[in-house]
Amino acid sequence: MGNIFAGSEIVELGIQIEKNGRDFYNILAGTTKSEKVKSVFQYLSKEEEKHIKIFQKLLSTTDRYEPPAVYADEYFAYMDALANEYIFTQKGKGELVAKRIKTDKEAVDSGIGFEKDSIIFYEGMKKVVPDYDHEIVDELISQEQSHLRQLSELKKQL
């Protein structure tokens, strides 16, 4: 079994995830009637935009990078399974999902799921970026964890 992904393809999936997240939060910010919820979603949308730029910068360092793993085939199969199961790796899905949401609670629950899935995906991504980029991916994971905490707090207030 050959590698399903190159490192650069996984980083490109990260870019797509962030674009979908940006679109998701933008639409939800425009549909909620709650100023508090709107403020959080606008903030998260801007954060996702920052992450897009960071991943685009990472992309230039991962073009031909392959993880130095004994079980590289299994690793790439794992990332393929994550990518296929994770709805936000598909172009346009953030907007589509957001348009189907009816309530603020449903929006916040969806955002929580999105942030959790992103953390899992980015943990896997660390294996395909060069070691010197791990600090950047760790920072992105930390930011996603912060977003998860914000949404969890917001959920308690709804």
Does residue 69 fall inside a structural domain?
yes
Which pLDDT band, with edges at 50, 70 and 90, does 3 fall under? very low
Residue 1 lies inside a defined structural domain of this protein: no
Residues 118/21, Cβ–Cβ less than 8 Å: yes
State pLDDT tens for residues 25-70: 999 999 999 999 999 999 999 999 999 998 888 877 765 555 555 5
> What pLDDT does 31 receive?
95
89 is in which domain, residue-wise? 7-157
pLDDT in tens, 91-148: 888 899 999 999 999 999 999 999 998 998 888 878 777 777 788 888 889 999 999 9
* Residue 29 amino acid letter: A
Looking up residue 79, the CATH number of its domain turns out to be 1.20.1260.10
